[in-house]
Amino acid sequence: MKKKRIVILGAGYGGLRTLKKLQELRPNAEIVIINKNDYHYETTSLHEVAAGTTEAQKICYPVSCVIDPDQTTFIQDTVVRVDRKEKQVILQKGVPVSYDYLLIGLGFESESFGIQGIREYALAISDIPSVERIRRHIENQFARWKEDHKEERLTIVVGGAGFTSFEFLGELTHRLPALIHRYHILKHQVRIICIESSPDVLPMFDRTLANYGTSKLKRRGVRFVVGRVNRVMPNHVYYKNGDELKVIQTGTFVWSGGVRGSSVIEASGFRQQRGRVRVKADLTVPGNPDILIIGDCSAVIDPESGSPYPTTAQIAMQQADCAAYNLKALVDGNPLKPFVYKWKGTVCSLGRNDAMGQVMGKNLKGYPASIMKKVIDNRSLVKIGGVETMLRKGMFGFTR
């Protein structure tokens, strides 16, 4: 009999971790993984590349590091949609790929919420090309200031005051002194502004930690403004505070106000909300028991709150372990097991040797939290890329 085929879409945290666990389980099936790039990047470190404190190659490694060629075939192509009726994955360049069982681990996209000008004029932290663009753009604005001395070139505005925004601002405030020195700029001439619709920043943390992070960034020169981004135009960001419309002239606007699941989900006709499918307890799609969805494209309900869990690398990798087990169970004709999420804590970096977070029920701030952040990042490298990858790409700057 012809072997069944398992197809994995995406080589992010969820997709690659599923592949690694599945190869260890050695199902009696052909495995195919499809990704638009031939590399994996650490999404949790994208903000460092955007700010210019880390090079892109530092947070990337080849997909081939994870692939066992005796079990798995890699196809580098962009997924357009899933044809569930024909059980095929439609690709941008290659021929359709048929599947018996499908694992969707595609990542996130920036969510514009219909705000005028976001897609045309805002910069987003979403993948390697996007963060390299941010880095080049900021440096270019500083360089051009030397020619025309326009104030907006030295004004950087960040939309949203969530996890990613804080991590980017933390790195950016450590990067700026080098740029100020290079382009002979006075420190007070540079403005960094963060716009958030609610006065309660970082809703995933308790107020003590959120206040710690806010005060640290304020001391480094970040100004926080309460308002809702209304419109983005070249060199202008409009926002509303109540009924009052205000404007900031800026050469750089980084939008970090929200994300959604891959547009492939909507294009494939799944019942979804903002690119996320509410999956069953075993991670399969209602009505499609041959398809599992994990990561940014899945919505798993927290039984305590009744709301979906936040989409993080942590939950994606835990889902991946369950998905690998269930994919083998589907091949073998065995029962599937439910996914149970075990929250292990969250740490938000604030730049070099500073962070804040909650780990095992305890609040951490400053240098100890920074060490824990590095440990967490290194652990994810081991769980997906292996020890060798961690030794090459890991973070070991534990000294103050």
Greater model confidence, 127 or 395: 127
Which of 103, 96, 100 is CA-nearest to residue 29? 100
Same fold, 4-110+260-343 and 118-257: yes
How much of the chain exceeds pLDDT 70, in percent?
A: 98
> What's the confidence (pLDDT) of residue 345?
87
Burial 131-140 (b: 16+ CB within 10 A, else e): bbebbebbee
pLDDT higher than 60, residue 209? yes
Q: Which residues contact 210 (CB under 8 A, 6 or more apart)?
A: 200, 201, 202
CA-based max dimension of the chain: 73
- Number of C-beta neighbours around residue 53 at 10 A: 19
CA distances from 347 to 167, 342, 366 (A): 10, 16, 11
Q: What is the pLDDT of residues 345-359, one digit of tens each?
A: 899 999 988 999 998
- What pLDDT is attached to residue 44? 93
Average pLDDT of the chain is: 94
CB atoms within 10 A of CB 235: 16
CA distance 130 to 292: 28
Give this prediction's pTM. Answer: 0.94
pLDDT tens-digit readout, 123-141:
999 999 999 999 999 999 9
Average pLDDT over residues 307-327: 95
Phi-psi region at 301: left, alpha or beta (left = phi > 0; alpha = psi -120 to 50): beta
Please report the pLDDT score of residue 380 as a whole number. Answer: 87
Lowest mean pLDDT, pick from 173-187, 239-253, 301-315? 301-315
**CB atoms inside a 10 Å sphere around CB 92:** 9
pLDDT at 4: 97
Residue 8, number of CB atoms within 10 A of its CB: 30
Half-sphere exposure of 27 (CA within 13 A, CB side): 28
Per-residue model confidence as pLDDT tens digits over 361-370: 899 999 999 9
Which tokens belong to 388?
């060798």
Angle at 81 between CA 75 and CA 82, to 5 degrees: 85
The residue ranges of every structural domain in the chain are 4-110+260-343, 118-257, 345-400
- The catalytic position among 42, 48, 109, 167 is 167
Per-residue pLDDT band for 397 (boundaries 50, 70, 90) equals: low
Check pLDDT > 90 for residue 386: no
pLDDT score recorded for residue 2: 85
Which pairing describes strands 222-226 and 191-196: parallel, antiparallel, or unpaired? parallel
Q: Domain 118-257, what architecture?
A: 3-Layer(bba) Sandwich (3.50)
Can you give the pLDDT at residue 399? 52
- The total number of residues written for the chain in this structure: 400
Active site residue 266: no
- Which letter does DSSP use for residue 301 in this model? B
Candidates 1.20.1070.10, 3.50.50.100, 3.40.50.800, 3.40.1310.30; correct CATH number of 4-110+260-343? Answer: 3.50.50.100
Give the pLDDT score at 400: 55
Q: Is the pLDDT of residue 394 over 80?
A: no
Q: Can you spell out the DSSP letters for 4-23?
A: EEEEEE--SHHHHHHHHHHH
Give the range among 33-37, 203-207, 254-258 with minimum mean pLDDT: 203-207
For residue 91, what pLDDT is reported? 98
What one-letter code names the amino acid at 376? I
> Which residue, 374, 310, 371, 294, is CA-closest to 45?
374
Q: What is the pLDDT of residues 88-111, one digit of tens each?
A: 999 999 999 999 999 999 999 999
Q: What is the pLDDT of residues 211-225, one digit of tens each?
A: 999 999 999 999 999
72, 53, 42, 3: which is closest to 352 by C-alpha? 53
- Tell me the pLDDT tens digit for each residue of 8-59: 999 999 999 999 999 999 999 999 999 999 999 999 999 999 999 999 999 9
